[in-house]
Amino acid sequence: MDTFNYPHYPDLKNRTVLITGGGSGIGAAFVEAFVGQGSKVAFFDIQEEVSNELVRKLASGGPEPLFIKCDLTDIKALKKSVAEVENKLGAVRVLVNNAASDERHEPEDVTPEYWEQRLRVNFSHHFFAAQAVKSGMAKAGGGAIINMGSTSWHMAMEFMPAYTSSKAAIEGLTQSLARAYGKDHIRVNCIIPGQVWTPRQIRDYLTPEYEQFMN
């Protein structure tokens, strides 16, 4: 995808943009698109190799993105990483809460520990990332927080209940934060994409059984 042929939006130039899960898939496309707009882009990911490769790929196309390795289930590390972004690039004006993992699991196999871990991977960091950027964003005059939802729970997919529950919760969180942060000129929205066949999705899940389910 050649994002640099897309329209340019002057209000995004030099804006600090933070993307979680930006090393691959949808997140990497966000990173590439915002770099193409001339934004100051930072992204978090736990995948070091693919993230560094993305930085090298984009270095000649606009401002070099800042990659910070961060385990988003570690809230202290998340907050520390947000502070690093603010120190290096200025107040975050756009936050894209993208990181997630749609790991398949059967309901009868879920333990309390697995359930809690899946919520930390897919939901909790959305709130704490928004909380961490809110003060600087408000002082800078406002901004936008974009939470990535999913059609999976709308479609009642039965083979990943911890994931679908997390994605349903994101929509509720979005509405609450939109009301809470709106007075500070911060928009909070949720994007609900359909199926996106990223390289990982194709590798792990494009099976005859899945195609039969979708049909």
Q: Which residues are catalytic?
A: 163
- C-alpha 208/C-alpha 174 separation (Å) is 35
> Is 115 exposed, middle or buried, given 0-12, 13-18 or 19+ CB atoms closer than 10 A?
middle
- C-alpha 31/C-alpha 92 separation (Å) is 14
Provide the CB-side half-sphere exposure for 115 (13 A, CA): 9
The residues pairing with 60 across neighbouring beta strands, listed in sequence order, are none
The radius of gyration of the chain's CA atoms, rounded to the nearest angstrom, is 17
The per-residue b/e assignment along 73-83, b for 16 or more CB within 10 angstroms, e otherwise, is: bebeebeebbe
CA-CA distances (angstroms) from residue 32 to 3, 107, 112, 114, 146? 7, 37, 37, 33, 16
**Which element (helix H / strand E) includes 16?**
strand 16-20
Strand order in the sheet with 94-97: 66-69, 40-45, 16-20, 94-97, 143-148, 186-191
